Structure 1
């Protein structure tokens, strides 16, 4: 199995891509306002913010946009169209960038302000962010990769959240997706041993209801079957001798 361990020159490119991805996501999140830009406009702006990195998602397996924008019940692969956002919408932005042939990826969720009662969605976002922090902190050389999902699921269960099992983190670098697979749920069979120098994404996908999902007829939007809201967070990390360096952090 080819794990995501990169040479120093490749690591520098992944690091630069990660910084550009994080900056682009931060700037794009500022545009998440009710009756503001369309989802397509937000994706186009994210692509501009990402420069000089190239958008890794654009054209990947036919995906037609730079930014994956998932709204409310959509878990991932959200197709940016001409819709505008409403107060209380829960929006996940996922973005990946390519610098000199090396990739980094990240995702973050936000609640559009202005709703009278969006406390449940706000809590889901806050706890999803905390689940990511805990999972990244648990990564250490010598531990099995299943520690990531175990930490995420044990934390999410405290609040009765669903944990999506069909997607997860993965190695990243010379390819957008490569080994190892990093489950975001408790998966004891994922026994790859974490080693210094690995680069992979840690991904959290939580729902307010069932974790069961389905894909729409167009083959893009992946949504919860019960149509409950979801939040997702992701960072690209480098495994160091003592823990991790978050390559998509600011």
Structure 2
């Protein structure tokens, strides 16, 4: 979308999404609230924005909560978390018909040996920072995935190829597609005023994924843990403004 059309609404939605994610992360404790409770709390924190995911293509909750091997589209249910669980919260909000989205991963504290998962989360967050920093007008959209994959490969992480970032604004998902892996064919030229999500999805093992029989929960085939991060960004004359930052 063009920045002049509804930018204020996208920016307000982004701030509410970021705030809701930050507050919801406090509930990620062992034997604490259920995943359904965490999603309900996220919806409350998101107000006055409306939850974009709720009812989208039949998704039954406000917050996508993916645990351990689940990459995305995790249904919040009556499960409680355990020490060492790697949890990704993804949330999108709608203000005046304009959307903004973000995701963040955390490790539930208390496990004796969760170093691998903690490092995956820290490096996933750094991969997102590097990818956002690389966005500039005039560069091809593949700069995002190239930066993510080159950084992740240093640590032997899998980089999920089936999902990525996307344009966002008047629609939750719109052009352009923004690969989160090195995709030379992604030659769309980045221009000032574009708004899109930058998405990182890393695994401790193979990047191969599969979807459950209901068509929602997407998990790593080898059942290794995965972390994901996402921000909505506005392309400026000199770089980016993170619309889902606090």
Q: Same fold (TM over 0.5)?
A: yes
Q: After the TM superposition, which of the residue ranges 7-16 and 198-207 deviates more from structure 2?
A: 7-16
Per the TM alignment, residue 7 of structure 1 is displaced from its structure 2 partner at its CA by 4.8
Other structure's SS at 2:30 match: coil
Other structure's SS at 1:194 match: coil
> Is the alpha carbon distance of 1:99 and 1:87 closer, same or farther for their aligned partners in structure 2, counting shifts above 3 Å?
same
1:38 partnered with 2:38: no
Other structure's SS at 2:14 match: helix
Other structure's SS at 1:129 match: helix
- The match for 1:164 is 160
Other structure's SS at 1:136 match: helix
Deviations 1:11-39 (A, max 9, x none): 00000000000000000001000000000
Other structure's SS at 1:32 match: coil
Q: TM-score, normalised by structure 1?
A: 0.98
Question: RMSD of aligned C-alpha atoms?
Answer: 0.6
Q: Distance in 1 between matches of 2:186 and 2:134?
A: 15
Q: TM-score, normalised by structure 2?
A: 0.99
- The match for 1:125 is 121
Unpaired segments of 5 or more residues in structure 2?
none
Deviations 1:143-194 (A, max 9, x none): 0000000000000000000000000000000000000000000000000000
Q: Distance in 1 between matches of 2:19 and 2:178?
A: 24
Per the TM alignment, residue 219 of structure 1 is displaced from its structure 2 partner at its CA by 1.3
Q: Distance in 1 between matches of 2:12 and 2:202?
A: 29
Q: Distance in 1 between matches of 2:177 and 2:116?
A: 31
Other structure's SS at 2:199 match: strand
Q: Is the 8 A contact 2:161 2:180 kept in 1?
A: yes
Q: Distance in 2 between matches of 1:243 and 1:53?
A: 27
Per the TM alignment, residue 6 of structure 1 is displaced from its structure 2 partner at its CA by 2.8
Deviations 1:50-89 (A, max 9, x none): 0000000000010000000000000000000000000000
Per the TM alignment, residue 9 of structure 1 is displaced from its structure 2 partner at its CA by 5.0
Q: Distance in 2 between matches of 1:224 and 1:137?
A: 28
Q: Distance in 2 between matches of 1:32 and 1:220?
A: 22
Q: After the TM superposition, which of the residue ranges 215-224 and 82-91 deviates more from structure 2?
A: 215-224
Other structure's SS at 2:5 match: helix
Per the TM alignment, residue 220 of structure 1 is displaced from its structure 2 partner at its CA by 1.1
Deviations 1:198-220 (A, max 9, x none): 00000000000000000011211
Task: State how many pairs are aligned.
Answer: 246
Q: Distance in 1 between matches of 2:4 and 2:10?
A: 10
Other structure's SS at 2:132 match: helix
Deviations 1:195-249 (A, max 9, x none): 0000000000000000000001121110000000000000000000000000000
Unpaired segments of 5 or more residues in structure 1?
none
> Is the alpha carbon distance of 1:7 and 1:115 closer, same or farther for their aligned partners in structure 2, counting shifts above 3 Å?
closer
